[in-house]
Amino acid sequence: MDWDDVGLGARVLDWLTATGKSNRTTERRLDPFATSMRDLDDVTVNLLSVRAGEPLTHNDQVQRITDLRSAGLVVGAVDTATLTELGNATLDSWLKYDVANDSMADEFARTFLLMHEARQLNVDAYVSYAEYWAELRSSYDPHKLLDNWDALFILNYLDNSIDGFAPGSAFRDEKVPVEAIEYDLDDYAEEVAADKETQSAADQVARAIGGKIPRGKARATVCLALEIMATPKQDPRTLLREFGQPRRPRQWDSFDEKQIEKFAAIIANIGIPAGPASDQAKGGRTDTTKPDAILKLPAEINFEKVERAAPQPPKKKPRKKGGSAPKKIDHKRKQERNDIVGRVGEEFALQYEQWRLRGHPDLVEKIEHVSLEDDTKGYDIKSFELDGTDRLVEVKATQGPLETRFFMSAPEKVFADANPETYVILRVGNLNDAPVLCELKSPFDQLDFATAIYEINFLPAEDDE
């Protein structure tokens, strides 16, 4: 990622500085696993011991109880531990479906049942895992997230928001495909000659990511379970055949047909359709590439606090070397994502315009969301200034902060130049978190317009003389 080109160089360095001041490198979690509990194969015996009031057989009882407690399965200390509602429900499910054992052949079933029971009980941590997965799969091909779980771990760390900014938002706004996601903040910090503390923080994050990837099998299994839960109308056999038991990124040990049918029966029995068995012969991959977990605005927005001044990023620092190479872009998915972000951004801007004119109900009634009917006019919303004059609003939205670069088409620029008195850009940012906006008007002195596309024609033949 060329962090300077996307307008986020200063924010990235601030994020690294803040990360370095923390005692630990934080990630957005997608699973309940911890120090002594990196999968579920030895958890059954722990839960059975706690239920029976017997001591754990684990070699570090204190750490194991701490990790079971962190996972929401027990409460209390080593000598007083009891199962939580989730712990009891999970153990009962494992016993019911004959997966209360230490066999890795049943690891997916144990994981799926844990996630299901947590969802049924609305356990906060597990709800957050599902919500985060829904957010990820709305931006990326979920199959590629599952297959490239090294890239997934990079996102998990870069999606940690500090002071309203997470570097991971840039990968979404720039439509970087999963397989091209890489951690490069350490390289960037070195390129711009950041101070020693910032470079150390960048290395700290790199070490955290590198330390987690070899232990990522359990997270990949959790995400496979979450993906099946997110697509209840699809036959789970399709995903189970495509993936299996994770070994390392992009390498899976396939489930055999007996395992697949066992898992499918469990999924169907708990109320998630498993599809007709005859679908086995059809094969092929389920199409989940369309982002169906749509980006949504908060239920309540305090519009008195959303407006910001136009960003004034610091001057770019000299670089020791050029930026990263261009990434291959999935243009179909990029357009789908642009449409979603644009639509949600326009919805936010429309609500803002209605709020801004709240003292003039006659003008509110006349506001038009013109791009819903015609997106070729050069603006998205026809609104009004407080004195009743026209206000033609073009919305430019990103999931990242306001500093993130945005794009304007040639027709939009022509229209803006032709209507300097009425044209307004509402720059909307932070759509993933707490949306904010700034207002930009002609002559756009605070903006740097750089050519992003060229019109190319063949030259005519030269006349022979």
* DSSP H or E segment with residue 429: strand 423-429
- Which of 221 and 443 is assigned the larger pLDDT? 221
The secondary structure of residue 37, as a DSSP letter, is B
Domain total of the chain: 2
Q: Are 228 and 272 in contact (CB under 8 A)?
A: yes
Measured CA to CA, the distance from residue 62 to residue 59 in angstroms comes to 9
CA distance 17 to 199: 9
Least Cα distance to 275 among 216, 309, 234 occurs for: 234
- As a whole number of angstroms, the distance between CA 427 and CA 161 comes to 21
Read off the tokens for 21.
């001041």
Partners of 251 in the beta sheet? 248
Residue 74 β-bridge partners: 83
| Predicted local confidence at residue 158, as pLDDT | 96
Q: Which residue has the tokens 């939009």?
A: 412
Domain boundary among 215, 248, 265: 215
Q: Is residue 298 part of a domain?
A: no
The alpha carbon of residue 347 and the mean position of all alpha carbons in its chain are separated, in whole angstroms, by 20
Question: What pLDDT sits at residue 131?
Answer: 93
Q: Is the pLDDT reported for residue 278 higher than 80?
A: no
Nearest-10 crossing angle of helices 124-139, 107-121: 110
Instruction: Evaluate whether residue 428 is within a structural domain.
Output: yes
Size (the chain), residues: 465
Q: Residue 322: its pLDDT value, please?
A: 52
Q: Which of 150, 180, 215 is the last residue of a domain?
A: 215
Reported as a single tens digit per residue, the pLDDT across 399-424 is 889 999 898 888 898 999 999 999 99
Q: Are strands 82-83 and 245-248 parallel, antiparallel or unpaired?
A: unpaired
Tell whether 315 and 437 lie within a shared domain. Answer: yes
Residues 18 and 144 in one domain: yes
Q: Domain of 418?
A: 303-441
Closest to 128 in 3D by CA, of 230, 227, 28, 24: 28
Single-letter amino acid code for the residue at 269: N
Cα torsion at 181, 432, 138, 353 (round to 10°)? -130
Nearest to 295 by CA among 87, 429, 134: 134
DSSP 311: P
Q: Could you give the strand order of the β-sheet that contains 436-441, starting from the edge strand earlier in sequence?
A: 381-384, 390-397, 423-429, 436-441
**Tokens standing for residue 420:** 């300097």
Looking at the domain assignment, is residue 77 inside a domain?
Answer: no
Give the C-alpha separation, 28 to 129, whole Å. 9
d(CA 94, CA 297): 38
User: For 77-111, how does the pLDDT look when each residue is reduced to its tens digit (9 = 90+)?
Assistant: 999 999 999 999 999 999 999 999 999 999 999 99
Highest-scoring range by mean pLDDT, 34-48, 94-108, 448-462: 94-108
Residues 312 and 432 placed together within one structural domain of the fold: yes
Residue 207 lies in a domain: yes
In this prediction, residue 337 carries a pLDDT of 60
Residue 150: inside a domain, yes or no?
yes
226 domain-assigned: no
Range 427-451 average pLDDT? 87
The answer to whether the CB of 115 falls within 8 A of the CB of 99 is no
384 assigned to some structural domain = yes
pTM for the complete prediction?
A: 0.79
Looking up tokens 């160089």 gives: 9
